[in-house]
A and B are shown apart, each in its own frame.
Chain A
Amino acid sequence: GAVVSQHPSRVICKSGTSVKIECRSLDFQATTMFWYRQFPKKSLMLMATSNEGSKATYEQGVEKDKFLINHASLTLSTLTVTSAHPEDSSFYICSAGRGFTEETQYFGPGTRLLVL
Chain B
Amino acid sequence: AQKITQTQPGMFVQEKEAVTLDCTYDTSDQSYGLFWYKQPSSGEMIFLIYQGSYDEQNATEGRYSLNFQKARKSANLVISASQLGDSAMYFCAMRGIQGAQKLVFGQGTRLTINP
Residues of A participating in the B interface, judged by any CB pair closer than 8 Å: 1, 32, 34, 38, 41-44, 46, 49, 91, 93, 95, 97, 99, 101-107, 109-110, 112
Q: Say yes or no for B12: interface residue by CB 8 A criterion.
A: no
Report how far A102 CA is from B43 CA in the complex, Å: 24
- List 25 A–B pairs whose Cβ atoms lie within 8 Å, in order of A's numbering: A32-B100, A32-B101, A34-B101, A34-B103, A38-B43, A41-B110, A42-B108, A43-B105, A43-B107, A44-B45, A46-B102, A46-B104, A93-B43, A99-B101, A101-B52, A102-B33, A103-B50, A104-B47, A105-B101, A107-B37, A107-B44, A107-B45, A109-B42, A109-B44, A110-B44
How many A-B contacts if CB must be within 8 Å? 53
User: Most chain-A Cβ atoms within 10 A of its Cβ — which of B35, B45, B103?
Assistant: B45
Report how far A49 CA is from B107 CA in the complex, Å: 20
Q: Say yes or no for B68: interface residue by CB 8 A criterion.
A: no
Q: Is the CB of B103 within 8 A of A102?
A: no
Q: Determine how close the nearest CB of chain A comes to the CB of B25; give it in whole angstroms.
A: 14
Q: Which residues of A contact B100 (CB under 8 A)?
A: 32, 49
Q: Is the CB of A102 within 8 A of B52?
A: yes
Q: How large is the interface on B (under 10, 10 to 19, 20 to 34, 35 or more residues)?
A: 20 to 34
Q: Is the CB of A43 within 8 A of B108?
A: yes
With CB as the reference atom, state the residue of chain B lying closest to A46. B102
Residues of B participating in the A interface, judged by any CB pair closer than 8 Å: 33, 35, 37, 42-45, 47, 50, 52, 91, 95, 100-108, 110
Task: Give the contacting residue for A46; candidates B37, B42, B44, B103; CB below 8 A.
Answer: B103
Question: Which 9 A-B residue pairings sit nearest by Cβ, starting from the closest?
Answer: A107-B45, A104-B47, A110-B43, A97-B101, A43-B105, A44-B105, A109-B44, A43-B107, A43-B108
Report how far A101 CA is from B33 CA in the complex, Å: 8
Q: Which residues of A contact B103 (CB under 8 A)?
A: 34, 46, 95, 105
Given contacts A32-B101, A46-B102, A105-B103, contact A112 B50 (CB under 8 A): no
